[in-house]
Amino acid sequence: MAVRLIVVGAGSRGAVYAGWVRAHPEAARIVAVAEPRAAHREQLARDHDLPADAVVADWRELVDRPRFADGVVIATPDVLHAEPAIAFAELGYHVLLEKPMAPNADDCRRIVAAVERHGVMLAVGHVLRYTRYTERIKAIIGAGRIGEIASVAHLEPVGYWHQAHSFVRGNWRDQARSAPMLLAKSSHDLDWIRYVVGEPCVQVSSFGSLQHFHAGARPAGAADRCLDCAVEPSCAYSAVKIYLGRVRTGYTGWPVDVLTSDLTETGVTEALRTGPYGRCVYACDNDVVDHQVVAMQFASGATATFTMTGFTRQRDRETRIFGTRGELYGDGSTIEVHDFLTDRTETIRTDVALDGTEHAAAGHSGGDARLIARFVAAIATGDRTQILSGPAESLESHLMVFAAEQARRDGRVVDVVP
Ligand SMILES: NC(=O)c1ccc[n+]([C@@H]2O[C@H](COP(=O)([O-])OP(=O)(O)OC[C@H]3O[C@@H](n4cnc5c(N)ncnc54)[C@H](O)[C@@H]3O)[C@@H](O)[C@H]2O)c1
């Protein structure tokens, strides 16, 4: 029988998971949605043929009822994760919770305590764990091909326009209203590093700042909105270039579709004239960092460094893993493994399946689909190992993030206390 799921928050992420369910009716079906935005709520209701009483504006209306589904996908904004996660866990629902679990350690601990107390499964949206690329890296390390890990150097190249879109003009620009950069964007990375190293992180230090996207870096003659700006043609972060430039080539996917539901040139121009995404990047109400580094010490003495920077072209994360018998480099799709004994390098393409066929992997290199597929399989079979991050490990990687942010703010080394 298909696993019954509720979607709480039918925004971008809720739609991704619901889309997978729609494409796999034999495995799962959506039985209710909670979403305050009428257009998004009705779209999901139509796509999944939901009866009127299963379509509500707020998740609280669903927890007033006895349990009527197997699991819940919680894809609300970061600050609205803990309460629904705990409420649904208390009713016995298995929970797929978008990352970050919550913006503070106390709420993360409360979520983990609730799922453990009620014996339900928790899958946090750490989609990078679920990609074929990561699976191969774990297998290479697990087979001992590079020996013991001594150090890891991991780069998250956010991309200059993605930084401007999400972290200067957009929803994740303001720490108080969303989360620090490390939690909003890089909780994936610290979690991934912890997963790859395969042991607890014990200490962290960190540095980083908002170097560029503030009034002090504003070019002479810049206007508050790109549509009115005389120096717009010479600005790499121009909203005209980033959004209208794409619309004019016929592209209306992310990030353009975040601005408005009217995806014509007129609609997007209007959004740039009146909405947050048309603002000068040097005249926004943003405070999250545009670059940050974290140094990590693991239980065995292995170390890792992480660099997040907005000042890159758009591309995938890159990692170097230095082991006692070999060295591994990965760029998100291709892995190079160099063996010290033979001094040979093997190159492995992870966008090619083992039978040699190429596969296009959408959504975090296939991680989105594999996460929801495994969550559904875990519910269907009761096999918790389908979920690649248990509650304790998810909590641990969030605690790494909070400790690193504290280390940056205080300018000191911070212990990661479980
Ligand atoms: N795993 C990933 O890689 C990844 C990527 C992007 C975002 N995220 C996370 O996913 C979550 C959602 O992000 P998004 O980009 O989909 O944002 P979004 O704004 O598109 O969607 C959030 C939705 O929650 C709805 N909502 C607000 N209050 C609600 C309530 N009381 N009940 C039900 N729904 C409510 C909003 O109306 C909105 O439609 C965030 O926590 C975000 O950090 C994860």
pLDDT tens by residue, 388-397: 999 999 999 9
The percentage of residues in the chain with a pLDDT greater than 90, rounded to a whole number, is: 93
Q: Which of 6, 13, 101, 127 to mutate to test the pocket of ligand 1 (most atoms within 8 A of CB)?
A: 13
Pairing mode, if any, of strands 344-349 and 122-124? unpaired
The residue contributing the CA closest to ligand 1 atom 15 is: 12
**Is 34's C-beta closer than 6 angstroms to any atom of ligand 1?**
yes
- Cα 81 to averaged position of ligand 1 atoms, centre (Å): 9
**Is 11's C-beta closer than 6 angstroms to any atom of ligand 1?**
yes
Question: Is pLDDT at 328 greater than 90 in this prediction?
Answer: yes
Confidence of residue 177 (pLDDT cuts 50, 70, 90): confident
Rounded to a whole number, what is the largest CA-CA distance in the chain? 65
Pick the atom of ligand 1 nearest to 81's CA: 41
**Is 59's C-beta closer than 6 angstroms to any atom of ligand 1?**
yes
**Is 321's C-beta closer than 6 angstroms to any atom of ligand 1?**
no
Q: Which of 20, 72, 76 to mutate to test the pocket of ligand 1 (most atoms within 8 A of CB)?
A: 76
- Cα 75 to averaged position of ligand 1 atoms, centre (Å): 4
Question: Is pLDDT at 355 greater than 90 in this prediction?
Answer: no
pLDDT value at residue 352: 65
pLDDT value at residue 16: 94
Q: 3-class DSSP state for residue 100?
A: coil
**Is 80's C-beta closer than 6 angstroms to any atom of ligand 1?**
yes
**Is 196's C-beta closer than 6 angstroms to any atom of ligand 1?**
no
pLDDT value at residue 1: 86
pLDDT value at residue 285: 96
CB 116 within 8 A of CB 395: no
- Cα 412 to averaged position of ligand 1 atoms, centre (Å): 33
- Cα 44 to averaged position of ligand 1 atoms, centre (Å): 14
Confidence of residue 230 (pLDDT cuts 50, 70, 90): very high
**Is 77's C-beta closer than 6 angstroms to any atom of ligand 1?**
yes
Q: pLDDT tens for residues 262-311?
A: 999 999 999 999 999 999 999 999 999 999 999 999 999 999 999 999 99
**Is 33's C-beta closer than 6 angstroms to any atom of ligand 1?**
no
pLDDT value at residue 293: 98
CB 323 within 8 A of CB 152: no
Separation between Cα atoms, residue 307 and residue 231, nearest integer Å: 31
pLDDT value at residue 235: 98
Beta bridge partners of residue 33, listed in sequence order: 7, 55
Confidence of residue 353 (pLDDT cuts 50, 70, 90): low
pLDDT value at residue 116: 97
Cα 290 to chain centroid distance, Å, stands at 17
Cα 373 to chain centroid distance, Å, stands at 17
**Is 255's C-beta closer than 6 angstroms to any atom of ligand 1?**
no
DSSP class per residue in 66-83: PP-SSEEEE-S-GGGSHH
Pick the atom of ligand 1 nearest to 13's CA: 16
**Is 58's C-beta closer than 6 angstroms to any atom of ligand 1?**
yes
- Cα 12 to averaged position of ligand 1 atoms, centre (Å): 7
Q: pLDDT tens for residues 156-168?
A: 999 999 999 999 9
Pick the atom of ligand 1 nearest to 15's CA: 16
**Is 36's C-beta closer than 6 angstroms to any atom of ligand 1?**
yes
**Is 37's C-beta closer than 6 angstroms to any atom of ligand 1?**
yes
Summarize the chain as % helix, strand, coil (round to 5). Answer: 40, 20, 40
Separation between Cα atoms, residue 7 and residue 96, nearest integer Å: 10
- Cα 33 to averaged position of ligand 1 atoms, centre (Å): 13
- Cα 2 to averaged position of ligand 1 atoms, centre (Å): 25
Separation between Cα atoms, residue 324 and residue 141, nearest integer Å: 11
- Cα 48 to averaged position of ligand 1 atoms, centre (Å): 19
Separation between Cα atoms, residue 170 and residue 213, nearest integer Å: 13
Instruction: Name the pTM for this structure.
Output: 0.93
- Cα 46 to averaged position of ligand 1 atoms, centre (Å): 20
Q: pLDDT tens for residues 74-118?
A: 999 988 999 999 999 999 999 999 999 999 999 999 999 999 999
Q: Is residue 156 within a helix (H) or strand (E), and if so which, with residue range? A: strand 149-157
Give the mean model confidence (pLDDT) for residues 60-69: 98
pLDDT value at residue 366: 82
